[in-house]
Amino acid sequence: MTIRLLIVDDQELIRTGFRLFLQTQSDLDVVGEAADGHEALARAAALRPDVVLMDVRMPRMDGVEATSRLTASEAAPRVLILTTYDLDEYVFGALRAGASGFLLKDASRDRLLEAIRVVHAGEALLSPSITRRLIEDYATRTAPLRPPTRPLAGLTPRERETLLLVARGLSNTEIAEHLVVTEATVKSHVGSVFAKLHLRDRAQAVVFAYENGLVHPGGPG
């Protein structure tokens, strides 16, 4: 299966560098480029990419606003945020806007490929270590917005426990070890949680858990 990519960055050299490398991969196809958020929306509508590599700081429309509009559209693509800074203040807004993950621009080539494929699969934010750093910083910046919502009542005890572990940044393998079940069982629980709570991926699950007060930094959840 070929993953269709749209590269969005206001620096032409960066777009060119990404495109030249990504096109060497047999399972990736760079279908287009855009220099800002406005152009990204138009190109995405015309080209229907599977994954958008989205810069954050751009003229006219930044990556956060563009991400929000893209993920609200029909057949929304996955959005992988590209940032220069480790914990860029815009990253958190982008995650809440519907981005599926983020990656530093100085990441290795292997990490870039991993991120694209993982985000496309919707199975992880990027990696457990990065997820933990994100949620720790996110939680210290943002107080829970509301008490746990009624949809949680539809989760089984094991599904609720799985959601808490996802929100703490554990991978499927780590969750399986923690719950003493198979990875296939964990994937089933995660899929059920996403379906019941209308979540697209782990990024949204992390935000959902913190915004609804299910977990707190340093706490047991």
Residues 59, 154 within the same domain: no
| Position 27, amino acid | D
Mean pLDDT of 27-54: 96
Residues 207, 152 within the same domain: yes
Residues 13, 115 within the same domain: yes
| Token pair of 120 as six digits | 């496309």
The model's pLDDT over 154-193, given as tens digits with 9 standing for 90+, comes to 889 999 999 989 888 788 888 999 999 999 999 999 999 9
Please report the pLDDT score of residue 121 as a whole number: 83
Backbone angles phi, psi at 155, to 5 degrees: -85, 145
| Token pair of 184 as six digits | 């296939």
- What's the CA gap between 210 and 200, in Å, rounded? 16
The model's pLDDT over 82-110, given as tens digits with 9 standing for 90+, comes to 887 655 566 677 777 888 888 888 888 99
User: What is the count of structural domains for the chain?
Assistant: 2
Band of pLDDT at residue 209, cut at 50, 70 and 90? confident
Residues 176, 101 within the same domain: no
Structural domain span for residue 59: 3-121
- Using a 10 angstrom Cβ sphere, with 0-12 exposed, 13-18 middle and 19 or more buried, the burial of residue 30 is buried
On the question of pLDDT at 146 being above 70, the answer is no
CA-to-CA separations, 18 to 23, 122, 208, in angstroms, rounded: 8, 21, 32
Model pTM score:
0.71
Distance of CA 121 to the CA centre of its chain: 11
Residue 75, in any domain of the structure: yes
Q: Evaluate whether 98 touches 204 at the Cβ level (below 8 Å).
A: yes
Among left, alpha and beta (phi > 0; psi -120 to 50; other), residue 39 is alpha
Alpha helices in 54-171 (DSSP H): 63-71, 89-97, 109-121, 128-141, 157-167
> What sign does the CA torsion over 59, 65, 71, 73 have?
negative
CA-to-CA separations, 45 to 59, 75, 136, 154, in angstroms, rounded: 20, 10, 35, 35
CATH number at residue 52: 3.40.50.2300
